[in-house]
Structure 1
Amino acid sequence: MGRRLLASFQSLHTEAEKADLQKLSCLLAAMTESGLQAVVGTPSEVSEDSAQDCLDSLFLERLLEMMTQMKAIRPEIVRGIPVHRFLRRMPCKGLAKQHRIFYGRSKVTKQLDEFWSHSWRTKAWLKYVNILFLNNGFPAFVVGTLCALVAFSLSLAGILPLQRTVGPANAWCTIAGSIGYYMTLLLWPSRKLAFLDIACINQEDETQKSEALLSMGAFLRCSKSLLVLWDETYVARLWCIFEMAGFLHSKGPRADKSVLVCPVFVGPALFAGNLGLSVLLLALLCADLPLFPWAGIFISAMVFPCMVLFAYVVLVHCRSIDVVQHQVRHFTFEHSLCHCCESGHVDDNGGEVSCDRLIIFRCISAWFGSVDAFESLVQTRLLKTLVCQLANQVFSYWRIVQATIPAAWAILDLHESRQDAAAAVLQTMLAAVNYPFCVLPICSLLMLRMAYGVRSLGHSKWTQWLLSTTLIAVESLLFGAYFLCEQALRQLSDDHFGNWLPAHLVALILMGAVTLVLWRHLPAIEMHWDSTSNS
């Protein structure tokens, strides 16, 4: 391995650099062949003198200096994969056992838009759906809405029929919006460059892999943001916590603003919400049922069970936040999990692999000064960032809007031509803005806060299902109360002005103000302090 490493650096010219590389070869060879025990001085089959000679070499100071400054061993080590390449290749190739394919798709770079931190225990398709929605969701939302508006304009111009007949002619806007949304979601050419370990670190060559691991600080330092694909195994994995702590260290006091924690269930939840709402509204529009009572019964029968399931998932997530706080408060380097140690430092082919703990230990010593300082940062600053994101940012305002935007497309389809055509168009547009941008986000936020408040009531599944049903029942009552108030405003507006335009304008102003107050000024959920914690 030492010879292969030395050969990879032939482009360096100074004798000092070549001498350093010879010592680096010695160090990496000891790491690969001897494992962690030989390097840290614990008894093993390898003589302590040979390992100590490597560690006592002058190169160790040079290596630690580079690690402290978070620099790469070689500039070519820092690589990134274009997001659109990953999204197009992953469904066909998968992540497992496709190391060469993804590594060949990455490229050398000096700047990364995102660093993707994830647990290898998480299913690949969950990661894919999350990355898909996080990168392409907003462009899909914009394009889908523009397509719906184009269909609405063509309907007003008489090019598309507006007759209230049973069939697809009732749903031009919803059809156009859905097609535009999902085509963009799948095909949008995201220009972001991201770090994904399986694509940016050569998994086949132990020398290049060791170089990349020793240069992990450079990957973190040149990344603009950190995306944490979180699941219940994340906080137990040493690499995951190390990456997040390293990013916070590299970016300074304001690093929290560049961290995005996304539980892996969020992507599938957004997909199911948007697709389910689109299909439901398409069926409703094509059936052309009267709003009272059949359309209301149809919507309730289809939506209520799905919403109860969603509330149950939210409750489980809220309960997991407490578990995460306990785990991170008691995190230690010694008891954290590492894949190489779990596999006995043997790869799938039976060959010996180096221990990642050594590299992580050296990086921790260089960046934080000691393991104790690293653990202290994890148990304080990292914990605060993680809890703040999980409790307040998982279902953000724009994610809810993107999931519920089919409601706006359906409202455009419900437009009715009246004598006062301009007023009819304006009131339809106001309603199309009000529901997905104000009413539904308000109801969602209130449900989320109530779910967090009752998360500890009962521990059995039946109790959790009962709480979920109660939450959706309360949310339905709130929505129904608003709908009745809107109907009263419509009637009042129709009596005095002959149309519903003033009613929709007043409703939008009031609900917009409530939305602004709740989403911008409602106090954030803070982490609770564990009285049993020693920290």
Structure 2
Amino acid sequence: MASLTMAFGMCEEEVAADLSCWSLYVSERIYTTDWEILRGISLRDSFRFGGSLWRNRQRVGAGPQADLFHQSRHVEQLDVFVSHTWASGGWSKWLSLLMQSGCNCALSGWLLGNVAAAAMSYADLLPLPLRLSPNTEAFSEVCALGPWSMILGFLGTALGFLLSPYLPRCKSDMCFIDAACVSQSNEALMTRGIRGIGGFLRVSKELRIVWTDLYLSRLWCVFELATFKKINPDGTVVMAPIFLETTVVLFYISNLCAASVQMVLRAGGSTRVLFALPIISLPFLVLVHRLRRSFVQKHKLFSQFQQFELDSARCVSDSDCEFIYATIDQLYGSKEAFVSYVRGSLREELLGPMTRSVLPETYALLIMSPVINLHVDFVVALWKQGAPFTVVLLYVVALLVIGVFLVVRIAINVMILLCDRFSKPAHGHSVVVDYLQTFLIFIAFLLYLFLGSGLLLQAFGTNRWELVPGLFIGFALMYIAVNWLQRKSDARRLKKTSETSTSD
């Protein structure tokens, strides 16, 4: 077989002319790893320098391409094979992978920022220039207030993400990224590396699909997916659609803006928090509209697997097309069998986990962190002013624990559920209907927040501990119900597309 490879390097046409030789060559490329050129790069290292590695290869000159190749090194095994298409923008993929990899670092930075802010505020190491009216019958003194948990919590989160590529690693994250692991400046090495991708997939523990709406339209992406599932059955396939991280960023920015507005209003002497709720919630009006657009991408993901056609996938090189088609024929028996596999069991395997989780818990905590920062500042103000322990404890239990981890979390999930269900305009492409749907979803979100916040503020304002257990149970049941509805909706959509695919 080595002679076939050498023959291919000298003259591809001579090898391809003989069908049996071509079949043997394809088998060699799939099942044999070219150890001499197997290279990897730490996934975190790929995020450094503003994600320069993830910029579109077509916009990067020959010199920078060579530099990217030298960032990788020879390896014997890969933890992750990153499968993506360069037809999609690099910035969004960099952000998505950075958040997946660095979320725990960001949350650690957020926690450290909060602890530092609370400790320094209480010890008078930071000024407290603002004033807070507690809005409770049990304690009426105006409290000195500082925005330091909001500021340091945000800075800790941002620094956690930005520094995560440079921090020590707890486990190996050696990955294959074509721009760094396949020479882009040496044509012979490039050809050898591209045709050796099957062997690289064979020694990869995980195939991570960075999904964009162009993914299944690229034949090499289809090849990577097809090959990995057959030659590496013990490997893990992870679907990582970038719209998820886009959703998280939109929620985080909206909560940050809303918490900042609430801080300004409360520091300005406003005691009618509920009446200020429409102003506080205005950032979410923009969020709803953008979120609906993100869920259009999610629906497209479901439909692309359902309607997958191999002939629609494109590749620049005709010889690459022949190689990929030959590989699929050899692994699956025929192109038709592979198409059926993608539409059926593969689709259910990859998309099924998306129906069982509304939002990863780390992302949910990240989204809620600006609101938690706000309440930490309020708790420090109450405690420092000498509020009774029962008042501080009631604030923590009612407004921080129940208010954030149940009421706000339910609000997030309700918005996700409604934006998912009504992502497209009810009547075609009507702009008026489109914006009306956004406004109605926002109103539903606002009414829920008004009701939930009102009940909690009433319990805190009247110092009524007896209301807390009932509120906790009620909101906990609501949280379970909303999560169930979301999973049911996704499962129904997956089943519907499955039935449609079967009937076709």
TM-score interval (norm. to shorter): 0.7 to 0.9
Amino acid at match of 1:459: G
Mapping of 1:496-507 within 5 angstroms?
507=471
Aligned match of 2:255: 277
Give how far 1:85 is off.
2.1
Aligned match of 2:208: 227
Give how far 1:187 is off.
0.9
Aligned match of 2:146: 170
Instruction: Kindly indicate whether the alpha-carbon contact (under 8 Å) linking 1:315 and 1:464 is maintained by their aligned counterparts in 2.
Output: no
Q: Cα gap change, 1:327/1:520 in structure 2, threshold over 3 Å: closer, same or farther? A: closer
Give how far 1:225 is off.
3.0
Give how far 1:254 is off.
8.3
Aligned match of 2:279: 301
Instruction: Kindly indicate whether the alpha-carbon contact (under 8 Å) linking 2:208 and 2:238 is maintained by their aligned counterparts in 1.
Output: yes
Instruction: Kindly indicate whether the alpha-carbon contact (under 8 Å) linking 2:131 and 2:269 is maintained by their aligned counterparts in 1.
Output: no
Instruction: Kindly indicate whether the alpha-carbon contact (under 8 Å) linking 1:408 and 1:436 is maintained by their aligned counterparts in 2.
Output: yes
Instruction: Kindly indicate whether the alpha-carbon contact (under 8 Å) linking 2:355 and 2:487 is maintained by their aligned counterparts in 1.
Output: no
**Does 2:44 correspond to 1:84?**
yes
Q: Cα gap change, 1:60/1:244 in structure 2, threshold over 3 Å: closer, same or farther? A: closer
The CA deviation string for residues 453-502 of structure 1, in whole angstroms up to 9 with x for no partner, is: 3346222233222112111211111111111221232245x25xxxx6x6
Aligned match of 2:268: 289
Instruction: Kindly indicate whether the alpha-carbon contact (under 8 Å) linking 1:401 and 1:436 is maintained by their aligned counterparts in 2.
Output: no
Tell me how many residue pairs correspond in the alignment.
Answer: 471
Amino acid at match of 1:261: A
Instruction: Kindly indicate whether the alpha-carbon contact (under 8 Å) linking 2:39 and 2:73 is maintained by their aligned counterparts in 1.
Output: yes
Aligned match of 1:467: 437
Aligned match of 2:118: 152
Q: Cα gap change, 1:483/1:276 in structure 2, threshold over 3 Å: closer, same or farther? A: closer
Aligned match of 2:334: 370
Q: Cα gap change, 1:109/1:202 in structure 2, threshold over 3 Å: closer, same or farther? A: same
Structure 1 unmatched ranges of 5 or more? 1-19, 35-49, 342-354
What percent of counterpart residues are identical? 18
Instruction: Kindly indicate whether the alpha-carbon contact (under 8 Å) linking 1:140 and 1:184 is maintained by their aligned counterparts in 2.
Output: yes
Mapping of 1:13-32 within 5 angstroms?
20-31=1-12
2:76 to 110, 133, 144: 110
**Does 2:347 correspond to 1:383?**
yes
1:359 to 320, 323, 348: 323
Aligned match of 1:484: 454
Amino acid at match of 2:281: V
Amino acid at match of 1:27: F
- Distance in 2 separating the partners of 1:64 and 1:339: 19
Of residues 478-487 and 513-522 in structure 1, the stretch that sits farther from structure 2 once superposed is 513-522
Q: Cα gap change, 1:477/1:246 in structure 2, threshold over 3 Å: closer, same or farther? A: farther
Instruction: Kindly indicate whether the alpha-carbon contact (under 8 Å) linking 1:270 and 1:399 is maintained by their aligned counterparts in 2.
Output: yes
Instruction: Kindly indicate whether the alpha-carbon contact (under 8 Å) linking 2:417 and 2:486 is maintained by their aligned counterparts in 1.
Output: no
The CA deviation string for residues 273-306 of structure 1, in whole angstroms up to 9 with x for no partner, is: 324533553454356134444x6666633632x3
Instruction: Kindly indicate whether the alpha-carbon contact (under 8 Å) linking 1:170 and 1:286 is maintained by their aligned counterparts in 2.
Output: no
| Corresponding residue SS for 1:360 | helix
1:438 to 401, 406, 409: 406
Q: Cα gap change, 1:278/1:79 in structure 2, threshold over 3 Å: closer, same or farther? A: same
| Corresponding residue SS for 2:210 | strand
- Distance in 2 separating the partners of 1:285 and 1:402: 19
The CA deviation string for residues 241-291 of structure 1, in whole angstroms up to 9 with x for no partner, is: 332333333453884xx413223x443443343245335534543561344
Instruction: Kindly indicate whether the alpha-carbon contact (under 8 Å) linking 1:261 and 1:394 is maintained by their aligned counterparts in 2.
Output: no
Q: Cα gap change, 1:480/1:112 in structure 2, threshold over 3 Å: closer, same or farther? A: farther
- Distance in 1 separating the partners of 2:229 and 2:392: 50
Aligned match of 2:158: 182
Give how far 1:175 is off.
1.2
Amino acid at match of 1:101: D
| Corresponding residue SS for 2:198 | helix
Q: Cα gap change, 1:283/1:360 in structure 2, threshold over 3 Å: closer, same or farther? A: same
Mapping of 1:320-335 within 5 angstroms?
320-335=297-312
Mapping of 1:188-267 within 5 angstroms?
188=164, 189=166, 191=169, 192-252=173-233, 255=236, 258-263=237-242, 265-267=243-245
- Distance in 1 separating the partners of 2:358 and 2:219: 23
Instruction: Kindly indicate whether the alpha-carbon contact (under 8 Å) linking 2:150 and 2:373 is maintained by their aligned counterparts in 1.
Output: yes
- Distance in 1 separating the partners of 2:449 and 2:100: 28
The alignment yields a C-alpha RMSD, in angstroms, of: 3.4
**Does 2:378 correspond to 1:399?**
no
| Corresponding residue SS for 1:484 | helix
Of residues 473-482 and 194-203 in structure 1, the stretch that sits farther from structure 2 once superposed is 194-203
**Does 2:427 correspond to 1:458?**
yes
- Distance in 1 separating the partners of 2:400 and 2:257: 18
Instruction: Kindly indicate whether the alpha-carbon contact (under 8 Å) linking 1:315 and 1:452 is maintained by their aligned counterparts in 2.
Output: yes
Instruction: Kindly indicate whether the alpha-carbon contact (under 8 Å) linking 1:67 and 1:217 is maintained by their aligned counterparts in 2.
Output: yes
Give how far 1:423 is off.
3.5
Give how far 1:317 is off.
3.8
- Distance in 2 separating the partners of 1:254 and 1:51: 32
Give how far 1:449 is off.
2.1
Q: Cα gap change, 1:113/1:299 in structure 2, threshold over 3 Å: closer, same or farther? A: farther
**Does 2:104 correspond to 1:138?**
yes
Give how far 1:122 is off.
1.0
Give how far 1:372 is off.
2.3
- Distance in 2 separating the partners of 1:90 and 1:522: 36
Of residues 440-449 and 216-225 in structure 1, the stretch that sits farther from structure 2 once superposed is 216-225
| Corresponding residue SS for 2:113 | helix
| Corresponding residue SS for 2:311 | coil
Instruction: Kindly indicate whether the alpha-carbon contact (under 8 Å) linking 2:145 and 2:377 is maintained by their aligned counterparts in 1.
Output: no
| Corresponding residue SS for 1:339 | coil
| Corresponding residue SS for 2:310 | coil
Structure 2 unmatched ranges of 5 or more? 133-142
Q: Cα gap change, 1:286/1:390 in structure 2, threshold over 3 Å: closer, same or farther? A: same
- TM-score when normalising by structure 1: 0.77
